[in-house]
């Protein structure tokens, strides 16, 4: 079956827990997707699973970001952090003024658009917008929320910053794996919106950990307590989806301590730049740092409840 008239040639760079299913949704939606990942075996596995879809989409493995970006109308990136994004776009040892041949930006045609789904700094987003504009390429910073489960289900929330025209070009592609897409403002606004999101998550995690530890110390049956409070004003996604596992001391899943700590570090940096006060975020960041020192780096961020239990039992 051939792809529909709405089919686009896309690049997807970064096949981690989020990117792997996101790129697959693009193929399912009928797009032709050229992928790159630093781990070759993962690229080959993804390409074998997504060689062709019933909707006419196709998946192709590529050896470099530049090869993936060649001929692509939209280049989507979902990697670890600022330096990873720079390496993908500028190439090894490259810079905005010295693009290397292996970088995606050197291979992109005029009028194409970069969409960066990485949770990164707002400063990076503004830098990339200028670098892309210099070669007549559009840019949208578009961090995501919803976790691996949201990526697998195609139900992500996407917070965007950039020019309206670039956003309009990218939105039909992003629709393939999103339930909500919002253009918040100019370049950088997507990243600062993600910081707002993470501040809210940090508060919910910290509150859940403190409340559960308090209830335990009071001798309450916390599973019954959760039934009593989750349907009222105190309810939250974290209480509904992580409350029982926090009570059971189960954390081998979810959004890792290291990733949440990284995100809150970005909040700390931006807050310092703005002169904003974020004491709750700083407190949660401190608990996450303690969890890292305890070796809980890959555990779900709600593992900070253990720090409360340690304080109680010491």
Q: Which residues are catalytic?
A: 194
For 166, the 3-state DSSP assignment is helix
265 token code pair: 């570090």
CA 114 to chain centre: 15
CA 212 to chain centre: 28
Name the β-bridge partners of 52.
58
Contact between residue 90 and residue 105 where contact means Cβ atoms under 8 Å apart: yes
For 194, the 3-state DSSP assignment is helix
Provide the CB-side half-sphere exposure for 158 (13 A, CA).
Answer: 32
CA distance linking residue 91 with residue 103, whole number of Å: 4
Q: Could you give the C-alpha distances from 33 to 1, 15, 50, 60, 283, in angstroms and in order?
A: 16, 12, 9, 6, 42
57 token code pair: 């989409």
CA distance linking residue 207 with residue 201, whole number of Å: 10
Residue 128, number of CB atoms within 10 A of its CB:
28
Q: Dihedral sign for Cα 127, 130, 132, 138, please.
A: positive
Contact between residue 117 and residue 162 where contact means Cβ atoms under 8 Å apart: no
Residue 208, number of CB atoms within 10 A of its CB:
22
Task: Give me the count of residues in the chain.
Answer: 314
Alpha helices by DSSP H, listed for 95-140, are 104-107, 122-134
């Amino acid at each position: 079956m051939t792809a529909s008239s709405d089919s686009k040639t896309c690049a997807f760079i970064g096949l981690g827990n989020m990117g792997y299913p996101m790129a697959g949704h693009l193929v399912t939606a009928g797009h032709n997707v050229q992928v790159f990942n630093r781990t070759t075996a993962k690229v080959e596995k993804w390409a074998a699973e997504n060689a062709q879809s019933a909707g006419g989409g196709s998946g192709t493995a590529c050896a470099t970001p530049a090869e993936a970006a060649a001929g692509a109308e939209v280049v989507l990136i979902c990697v670890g952090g600022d330096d990873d994004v720079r390496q993908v776009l500028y190439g090894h040892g490259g810079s905005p003024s010295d693009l290397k041949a292996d970088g995606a930006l050197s291979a992109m045609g005029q009028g194409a658009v970069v969409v960066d789904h990485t949770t990164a700094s707002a400063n990076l987003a503004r830098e990339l917008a200028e670098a892309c504009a210099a070669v007549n390429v559009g840019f949208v910073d578009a961090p995501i929320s919803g976790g691996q489960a949201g990526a697998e289900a195609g139900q992500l929330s996407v917070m965007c910053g950039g020019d309206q025209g670039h956003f309009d070009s990218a939105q039909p592609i992003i629709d393939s794996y999103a339930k909500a897409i919002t253009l918040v403002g100019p370049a950088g606004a997507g990243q600062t919106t993600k910081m707002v999101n993470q501040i809210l998550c940090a508060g919910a995690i910290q509150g859940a950990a403190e409340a559960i530890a308090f209830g335990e110390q009071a001798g309450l049956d916390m599973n019954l307590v959760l039934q009593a409070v989750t349907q009222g004003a105190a309810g939250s996604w974290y209480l509904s989806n992580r409350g029982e596992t926090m009570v059971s001391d189960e954390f081998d899943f979810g959004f890792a301590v290291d990733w949440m700590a990284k995100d809150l570090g970005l909040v700390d940096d931006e807050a310092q730049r703005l002169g904003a006060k974020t004491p709750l975020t700083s407190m949660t960041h401190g608990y996450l740092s303690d969890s890292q020192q305890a070796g809980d780096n890959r555990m779900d961020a709600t593992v900070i409840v253990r720090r409360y239990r340690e304080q109680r039992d010491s």
